[in-house]
Amino acid sequence: MNKTDVKEYFNQHADKRDKWKKKNTYYHTEIKSLLKFLVPENASVLDIGCSTGDILADLKPSRGVGVDISPKVVAIAKEKYPNLDFREADAEHLDVDGKFDYIILTDVIGFFEDVQQSFSQLQKYSHSKTKVIITYFNYLWEPAMKTAEKLSMKMKNPISNWLSRTDVDNLLYLADLEVIKKGGRLLFPKRIPLLSSFLNHFLAKFPLFRNLCLVNFVVARPKPMVQPLKPNPSVSVIIPARNEKGNIEAAVKRLPPMGSHTEIIFVEGNSNDNTWEEIQRVKNVYPTLDIKILQQEGKGKGDAVRKGFDAATGDILMILDADLTVRPEELPKFYHAIATGAGEFINGSRLVYQLENQSMRILNIFGNKFFSAMFSWLLDQRLKDTLCGTKVIWKEDYEKVKTGRVFFGDFDPFGDFDLLFGAAKLNLKIVDLPIRYQARTYGTTNISRFSHGWLLLKMCFFAMKKIKFI
């Protein structure tokens, strides 16, 4: 079936679309729930294949543009939601003004005559941080879907393409779009009390069952450019410090300058070894360097990180642990990775290279591997080492994470996972950057292996509730 036939088909059935949506309310509610999780309110959104506009309206965009090939469907959408911009348009030849934070294609790519061309069009409407979200039917469900149409359980659709995950990934690649995350939704598309919730909100989250879901989804972004996203961005390095007197001057001396300007922010918290006095001394010894010094009113690394980030003025925010087990000399690698767009959140990984003797105990290694596997599953992005203290994010993205903190609450005493969860919720591209982990030369760890391990387990269960089993 060509696009002319598709257009005519949806014109003929335009008046029936909303009736069929009501008949399958559970399915459409679940898809809306997924998209509302992935797309924050007040973003600019382009909805391709918008149908009668319900999804776009539910996303509450700051600017919402919906396009559909059917003029009759567009007319219905305009009548229902006059505050939004709906237009008749062919996905392969879009003509829309401006660029968007999110571009969504919901259950529509199977009707495209040329999927690659349609995907390639998206570049014109994307900036460096645009996210493309696509939902499409799992080809394994084709017999069941055809049977449901014959039994009048769902609206009949024109002949369509049934694309596999590999097909979609490849077509995105050819269109210069990079996959960030993907998954499945709905093992059972009808509502049966308790059973549907168990199947769709629990069982469907596990690898084997996820591949059997009715709906696949993928989040992608424009492939990063080789040139910096911003010309010579500035940097703020936040160094939480508790009982680290012997490492303060070394951190300053060994930290390479980065970008147009490097700001160093020490955040001292409740030390009993004169760390605060040493920070003050070092600031006076190096007057040519931009060193800010802060003291915590609260407790914990998480509180220190948030205090430092709030005071930072750089375009890029970095965390450097004051124990210097991650060498300050490694930070330019992080700068290059985020400045060139290789990732939008750069996560240090200590578990690639050989560990220096005594730098990490065997129990810690096993614990790190366990939690890395857990969080990779929870966040749908592969992470080698979630517990490395060095993490890097754009200041503007951190502000979004901070705004979205109301979704998670104040749950993280470490500061790392607050950022990881927030980055995943914003669909940022998280990239592991291997570093060589060094043994301490001063002081002892502030980490309590068993009590903090228990806290991490509780955070895993928290993440299951807030991110995974939704």
Contact at 8 Å (CB) between 175 and 119? yes
What does DSSP say about strands 345-349 and 316-319: parallel, antiparallel, or unpaired?
unpaired
Contact at 8 Å (CB) between 216 and 182? yes
Q: Is residue 120 part of a domain?
A: yes
Looking at the structure, do residues 264 and 329 belong to the same domain, yes or no? yes
Model pLDDT for residues 308-325, shown as the tens digit of each residue: 999 999 999 999 999 998
Q: CA-to-CA distance for 276 and 438, rounded, in angstroms?
A: 24
Sort 443 into a burial class: Cβ within 10 Å, 0-12 / 13-18 / 19+: middle
Looking at the structure, do residues 157 and 50 belong to the same domain, yes or no? yes
Full domain range(s) for residue 342: 235-468
Q: CA-to-CA distance for 128 and 126, rounded, in angstroms?
A: 7
Domain edge (last residue) among 188, 222, 256: 222
- How does pLDDT run along the chain (470 residues), one tens digit per residue? 577 888 888 888 888 888 989 999 999 999 999 999 999 999 999 999 999 999 999 999 999 999 999 999 999 999 999 999 999 998 888 989 999 999 999 999 988 888 888 998 999 999 989 999 999 999 899 889 889 888 888 888 877 788 888 889 988 988 889 999 999 999 999 999 999 999 999 999 888 898 999 999 999 999 876 555 678 999 999 999 999 999 999 999 999 999 999 999 999 988 989 999 999 999 999 999 999 999 999 888 888 999 999 999 999 999 999 999 899 999 999 999 899 888 899 998 877 666 665 555 666 667 667 777 777 777 777 777 877 889 999 999 999 988 877 666 666 666 677 888 888 889 898 888 888 887 766 766 655 555 656 666 777 777 677 777 77
- Residue 308 is predicted with a pLDDT of 96
- Residue 358 is predicted with a pLDDT of 55
- Residue 158 is predicted with a pLDDT of 75
Helical (H) or strand (E) element with 135: strand 126-137
Phi, psi of 103 (to 5 degrees): -120, 120
Looking at the structure, do residues 198 and 295 belong to the same domain, yes or no? no
What does each C-alpha distance from 275 to 236, 254, 439 come to in angstroms?
21, 18, 20
What's the 3-state SS for 284-347? HHCCCCEEEEEECCCCCHHHHHHHHHHHCCCCEEEECCCCCCECHHHHHHHHHHHHCCCCCEEE
Site of tokens 């090939």: 69
Q: Is 364 helix (H, G, I), strand (E, B) or coil?
A: helix
- Residue 224 is predicted with a pLDDT of 76
For 16-61, the DSSP string reads GHHHHHHHTHHHHHHHHHHHHHHS-TT-EEEEET-TTSHHHHHT--
- Residue 245 is predicted with a pLDDT of 94
Residue type, 66: G
Beta carbons within 10 angstroms of residue 124's beta carbon: 11
- Residue 450 is predicted with a pLDDT of 56
Instruction: Report which of 26, 100, 15, 22 is spatially closest to residue 51, judged by C-alpha positions.
Output: 15
Looking at the structure, do residues 265 and 388 belong to the same domain, yes or no? yes
Looking at the structure, do residues 200 and 250 belong to the same domain, yes or no? no
Contact at 8 Å (CB) between 407 and 330? no
- CATH number for the domain including 194? 3.40.50.150
Tokens of 90: 């062919």
- Residue 229 is predicted with a pLDDT of 65
Contact at 8 Å (CB) between 200 and 185? yes
Looking at the structure, do residues 198 and 121 belong to the same domain, yes or no? yes
Contact at 8 Å (CB) between 30 and 52? no
Looking at the structure, do residues 199 and 255 belong to the same domain, yes or no? no
Tokens of 262: 């490097």
Phi, psi of 277 (to 5 degrees): -65, -35
Looking at the structure, do residues 203 and 313 belong to the same domain, yes or no? no
Phi, psi of 199 (to 5 degrees): -70, -45
Q: Is residue 229 part of a domain?
A: no
Q: Is residue 441 part of a domain?
A: yes
Q: CA-to-CA distance for 373 and 285, rounded, in angstroms?
A: 44
- Residue 312 is predicted with a pLDDT of 97
Q: What 8-state DSSP symbol labels residue 83? A: T
Helical (H) or strand (E) element with 129: strand 126-137
- Residue 466 is predicted with a pLDDT of 73
Looking at the structure, do residues 45 and 174 belong to the same domain, yes or no? yes
Tokens of 332: 């330019």
Q: Is residue 453 part of a domain?
A: yes
- CATH number for the domain including 276? 3.90.550.10
Looking at the structure, do residues 93 and 146 belong to the same domain, yes or no? yes
Number of domains composing the chain: 2
Looking at the structure, do residues 208 and 282 belong to the same domain, yes or no? no
Domain edge (last residue) among 191, 222, 253: 222
Domain edge (last residue) among 192, 222, 252: 222
Contact at 8 Å (CB) between 361 and 445? no
Q: pTM of the prediction?
A: 0.77
Q: CA-to-CA distance for 80 and 53, rounded, in angstroms?
A: 8
Radius of gyration of the chain (CA): 25
Tokens of 183: 């998954």
Q: What's CA 53's distance to the chain center, in Å?
A: 25
Site of tokens 């596990």: 206
Q: Is residue 313 part of a domain?
A: yes
Contact at 8 Å (CB) between 440 and 325? yes
For 212-227, the DSSP string reads T-SEEEEEEEEPPPSS
Contact at 8 Å (CB) between 274 and 245? yes
- Residue 378 is predicted with a pLDDT of 77
